[in-house]
């Protein structure tokens, strides 16, 4: 695994969206994002930068209806890209967590690439929308990513007043947790970090 490029290219086309994502887990935080949803672009830029992932996202969705399908499906495709780039998950740290402040907001995210998709969210937003995005789609994006990436993802808002800050703290905490959990652990070279012997079934 040490010499293998941990990259993925995933596409998904439906009657609602057309999405392509290129992901490099061992990047430097470079992002090129175009989803048609400004606030989602902003959050994905933050995710790439703070996870140190190189990330390219091209998404076209039925925005004449609303932003729901675009946000949801980008989460689906990004989750699949994570799973593909990690392969059999040999030698990774597997678990990670972060607590991140954003001015008055504070968010906690913990992840485990244990092979099963599960999502728990504890928090609330004050307003119905954050920029062009329904506030309900923030946890829904996380849920889609967790299920398709086959990882446990717990996200909790510990403090906050401004919804933009709350959401940004969540995405930055997710980024740092993903960076930690996907890192190679030299002590585990050639080993799967599980007593089961596999993280892919």
Query: 109-118: per-residue pLDDT in tens?
Result: 999 999 999 9
Residue 201 belongs to some domain of the structure:
no
User: What is the pLDDT, as a whole number, of residue 5?
Assistant: 86
What is the domain-level CATH number for residue 40? 3.30.230.40
Residue 198 belongs to some domain of the structure:
no
Residue 194 belongs to some domain of the structure:
no
Query: 73-86: per-residue pLDDT in tens?
Result: 999 999 999 999 99
Under 8 Å between Cβ of 145 and 72: no
Under 8 Å between Cβ of 27 and 7: no
Q: Structure pTM?
A: 0.93
User: What is the pLDDT, as a whole number, of residue 91?
Assistant: 85
Under 8 Å between Cβ of 143 and 111: no
Query: 39-72: per-residue pLDDT in tens?
Result: 999 999 999 999 999 999 999 999 999 999 999 9
Structurally, the chain folds into a number of domains equal to 1
């Amino acid at each position: 695994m040490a010499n293998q490029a941990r990259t993925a290219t995933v596409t998904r086309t439906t009657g609602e969206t057309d999405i392509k994502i290129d992901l490099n887990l061992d990047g430097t935080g470079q992002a090129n994002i175009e989803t048609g949803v400004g606030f989602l672009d902003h959050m994905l830029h933050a995710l790439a930068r703070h996870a140190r992932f190189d990330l390219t996202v091209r998404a076209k969705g039925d925005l004449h209806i609303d932003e729901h399908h675009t946000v949801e499906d980008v989460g689906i495709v990004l989750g699949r890209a994570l799973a593909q780039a990690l392969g059999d998950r040999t030698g990774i740290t597997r678990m990670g967590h972060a607590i991140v402040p954003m001015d008055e907001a504070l968010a906690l995210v913990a992840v485990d690439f244990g092979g099963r998709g599960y999502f728990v969210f504890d928090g609330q937003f004050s307003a119905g929308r954050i920029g062009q995005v329904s506030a309900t789609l923030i946890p829904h994006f996380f849920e889609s990513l967790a299920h398709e990436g086959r990882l446990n993802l717990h996200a909790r808002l510990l403090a906050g007043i401004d919804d933009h800050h709350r959401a940004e703290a969540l995405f930055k905490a997710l980024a740092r947790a993903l960076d930690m959990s996907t890192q190679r652990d030299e002590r585990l070279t050639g080993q799967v970090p599980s007593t089961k012997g596999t993280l892919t079934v």
